[in-house]
Structures are given as structure tokens and as C-alpha cells.
Structure 1
């Protein structure tokens, strides 16, 4: 049985080589998701959301393999981040961050299968946040993206360059939430070696001729 691995199937989205901003076309994807707000380093809601996502993700994996004969590698943790004030990301005002944590799912994973996995995971784990996990589709399309290597708190300057230089220089504007894909485990990886895909959906600005 060949296991589906989103990092292999969508290399342009999960394994970029560029360390400066470049454009990529991101296809529609299915995810499981949980929303919240606050500093991911200190928020109990954030910790519970991530725990619930992984509990459901692995239950989906085992259910898919057992009932459908289709196996897959559980994808990396991802996050959409936003605020009414975009500058809170460049100045790292984390208490003002809103977030939607995600784990990608293969196309054959339906809402019904997710709901079945939620019931099983809730019964086994007893985590109330599992009830908040939902199935959703995200289609970001044209996006600016790069691979950031280093601590999460070092992202400020590269995001400032996106907001204040790259977008205007390329006649682009932001049109969706800031997206991060965490390719390293911060519990086991030195901060300077962490690998994070940074992505921002964009639209082209049509200038008058």
C-alpha cells in the first residue's frame, strides 16, 4: 500500500527552496481546523486545539486505513494567523493574534469520516476541544511564499519586507490570512534549525495605463 504524503504530492507548497518571496499557485485542499485567539506560547486554548487536532488526525488515518484501505502520512501542523492590525505580526504582539490551526487531509477524507473520527477520538481521549474540530476546504490560489529557517520570532523582518517592499514592487495586495506550515518540531529541533513555510495569498493590482 502506497501512503499518500502531502509533502511529497504538493512539493511546491510544502518543500519550497526559496528563502526570499516568490509566487506559487496553491490548489484547493481539505483540512481539519480549530479556531482561537492569543499567544501560542502561553494560551491554554492553543495547546488544547493542537492536541485535539492531532487526536482527530490520527484517528482519521487509522479509520481510513481500516475501512477504506487507504493510508496516508499525517501532515504537518499549519496555522492561519490574522488581526485587525497587520502590524501586530511584525512587532510580535502575540496576545492580539487570532489563529486557525490546521492539518491537511487527503481528498478522499469526507466530512462524515471526520465526524466519525471526532466521536471516536472524543470517546477515547475525553478532550472537549475535539468537538470544535471541523472539516473545511481552503483554496488560496496565487500566494507569495518562502522557506524561513530559524526561530519563529525572527520572522518579523521578512514579513515587514513582504508588507512594505515585495507587494508594492510586484503590484500585489494581500487578500487572505497569513499562513505558516511548521516543518520542524520545536520540542526536538534547535530554534536556529526550525523550518517554516511562510505564505500570504495575494491578488494582482491593475494599474491604470
Structure 2
């Protein structure tokens, strides 16, 4: 059975360090869970990760056994925001951050499949916040994205450049939430080798005037 790797087949998983590319991201479906606070210390973050993965793997095994379609569980993703977005750049106030952690679900799976996987995971008791996970589509449309290599805290300079220079110079304004895609396993990768896609949905400045 062929194992599909969405990270390799979807253009939205491609980015280059030092380049800020404008891409069109189609509607994609995710397992999602919300939280607040510093990801290094917030119990919301660790419990969100611990809750998402059992369901994601339950869904993968259901797809393989019942549909005959196997796939690699995609990388963890996160939407991040704050009342004042300088909390991500100049202020870097992690205690003010809100987030939605997400794992992509392949297009051939639907809500019925997710509900079946939820039932199986619930019976094992392996997902502490299973009841808070939702299955939703996200359509970001036009986005600017780049690849950041290095520690998460070094993202601030890249984001400041993206927000204050790259996006305005392209005649765009920021619209949706800051999006990160964690291509590296943060538990097993040295900080200086972490690979993270940084994405920002945008719209023409004239459209928002």
C-alpha cells in the first residue's frame, strides 16, 4: 500500500529561507484545538499536543484499515494571535499569545470518519482534551510565506520584516492569523536546525480601504 506524504505533495508545504513567496492556499480541513499562553510553559499547549496526536493517528489507522489509503500524519501547525500583534515581534510577550494547534486531515476523510475515530480514541482514554477538538475547514487564500531555520525566538526579526516591509511593499495588508508549520520534530531537533514555515494571509490594500 502506497503511503501518501502530504508534506511532499501539497504546494502549501513548500517555502524557502530568505524568500517571501506569495501563494494561494486552498480550503484545507484540520483537527483543531485552542489554547492560550507561552508555549514553553502553558499547560494549554502541552495538553493540546497530547490530545491532537492520538486522534490524528486514530484517523490515519481508520483510513488505512477501512479505506485502504495510508498516509504520513502531517506536521503540527499553529495559528497565533494577540490583541496587540507586537507581542510576536518587538514586545515578544508570550504570555499574551492565543493559539489554535492543528493537524491536517486528508481530503478523502470526512466528519463521519472523524467521529468514528473519536469513538475509538475515547474508549482508550489517550486524549485528555478529546472533547475540545473540532474538525473544521480553513481557507486562507492569498498568503505570504517563508522558511525560518533556527530557534523559535529568532522568528521575531523575520516576522517584523514580513509585516512591516515585505507585505506593505507588495501593496498588501495582513488579514488572517499568523500561521506556523513545524516541519521539524521540536522534541528531537536542535534549536538551530528547526525548520518552520511562517505564513501570513493577506489582501490587496485597496480592497481594505
TM-score, with length taken from structure 1:
0.94
Shifted more, 160-169 versus 55-64: the winner is 160-169
Residue 114 of structure 1, CA deviation? 0.9
Unpaired stretches in structure 2, ≥5 consecutive residues: none
In structure 2, how many angstroms separate the alpha carbons of the residues matched to 1:16 and 1:87?
Answer: 24
The equivalent residue for 1:47 is 46
The equivalent residue for 1:112 is 112
In structure 2, how many angstroms separate the alpha carbons of the residues matched to 1:161 and 1:16?
Answer: 16
In structure 2, how many angstroms separate the alpha carbons of the residues matched to 1:122 and 1:51?
Answer: 13
Unpaired stretches in structure 1, ≥5 consecutive residues: none
Q: How many residues are matched? A: 206
* 1:151 paired to 2:155: no
CA deviations 1:87-133 (Å, max 9, x no partner) are 00012211110100000111011112112211211221343301111
Which aligned pairs between 1:100-179 and structure 2 lie closer than 5 A? 100-179=100-179
In structure 2, how many angstroms separate the alpha carbons of the residues matched to 1:9 and 1:84?
Answer: 35
Give secondary structure in 2 for the equivalent of 1:75.
coil
In structure 2, how many angstroms separate the alpha carbons of the residues matched to 1:181 and 1:116?
Answer: 27
The equivalent residue for 1:63 is 62
- Spell out structure 1 runs of 4+ moving beyond 3 A: none
The equivalent residue for 1:37 is 36
8 Å Cα contact 1:4/1:106 also seen in 2: no
